[in-house]
Amino acid sequence: MFEARLTQSAILKKVLDAVKDLLSEATFECSDSGIQVQAMDNAHVSLVSLNLRSDGFDKYRCDRNLSMGMSISCMSKILRCAGAEDTVTLRAWDSPESIVFIFESPNKDKLAEYEMKLINMDQEHLGIPETSYSCVVKMPSAEFTRICRDLSQFGESITFACTKEGIKFSASGDYGSANIKLAQTADADNEEEAIIVNMQEPVKLTFSCRYLNCFVKAGPLCNQVQLSMSDDVPLVCEYKIGDIGHIRYYLAPKIDD
């Protein structure tokens, strides 16, 4: 059988909020090491890679590897039924046709069970090579959210230009243009507020606002976001999920026609 328990259902709620605008359905691969999801949006422009390690769960048991196709919108609806302080347990039997979500209140006086049918899915798996990136920038996730939102008003895409001094985000359109420069923070006293630039080569890349504004929905998961960039390759936008894992978004750049 498969059973995974998290004392804080809020973590799983936030994870669903972070993927539901990009994915309608996804396969959850469950094994001894944890739960993994790799799924592209319908247009194959972005990819979500979610990793939740088994040791991050409060209880975890997976007797045999399972691939469970799930409707993200249905899962999201179910998780909205969990109280903020509830514990969540996911349970499935071997060769399952459904998965059960069990929510338990902190004082254990309320127990709610929701069963969700699994779906058969053809899945396309992409081999993503381990790459060293020309620029890796760490910055507060709230700042990144704000920049994507603000610059989206000016155009359909945002250009990221990174040098050793910092990173510049810019957008332009019919009404005008805007750019925001962030300098690397001199002292990293406050880790959550730090902007750290690790640059081997300067990069300049352009990305669609629509996808970036989906990625920033992961902001509530982590105070910092990490952007990994090389010229003419997909962006990696990573948010840590506490001590349990991470969510990575890959986004194909806009390239010269």
Partner 1 sequence: KKKQSTLTDFFKKS
Binding site for partner 1 (CB under 8 A): 40, 43-47, 124-129, 157, 206, 208, 233-234, 250, 252-257
SS3 163: coil
**Distances from the Cα of 79 to the Cα of 14, 15, 38, 84, 256, angstroms:** 10, 10, 20, 10, 42
CB of 111 to partner 1, least distance (A): 41
CB of 175 to partner 1, least distance (A): 19
| Of residues 92 and 171, the one with the C-beta less far from partner 1 | 171
| Of residues 9 and 208, the one with the C-beta less far from partner 1 | 208
| Of residues 90 and 236, the one with the C-beta less far from partner 1 | 236
CB of 88 to partner 1, least distance (A): 31
- The total number of residues shown for the chain amounts to 257
In 3D, which of 16, 10, 19 has the Cα closest to residue 237? 19
CB of 169 to partner 1, least distance (A): 16
In 3D, which of 78, 82, 72 has the Cα closest to residue 50? 72
| Of residues 43 and 81, the one with the C-beta less far from partner 1 | 43
Rounded Cα distance between 19 and 221, Å, is 12
Full strand arrangement of the beta sheet holding 59-62: 59-62, 2-6, 87-92, 98-104, 111-117
Task: Name beta bridge partners: 46.
Answer: 251
For 36-53, b/e burial (b = at least 16 CB within 10 A) is bbbbbbeeebbbbbbbbb
Rounded Cα distance between 137 and 167, Å, is 8
CB of 205 to partner 1, least distance (A): 10
Answer for the pair 171, 154: CB distance below 8 angstroms, yes or no.
yes
CB of 160 to partner 1, least distance (A): 13
CB of 100 to partner 1, least distance (A): 31
Q: Could you report how far apart the first and last alpha carbons of the chain are, in Å?
A: 51
Q: Which residues contact 210 (CB under 8 A, 6 or more apart)?
A: 156
| Of residues 198 and 206, the one with the C-beta less far from partner 1 | 206
| Of residues 121 and 233, the one with the C-beta less far from partner 1 | 233
| Of residues 127 and 189, the one with the C-beta less far from partner 1 | 127
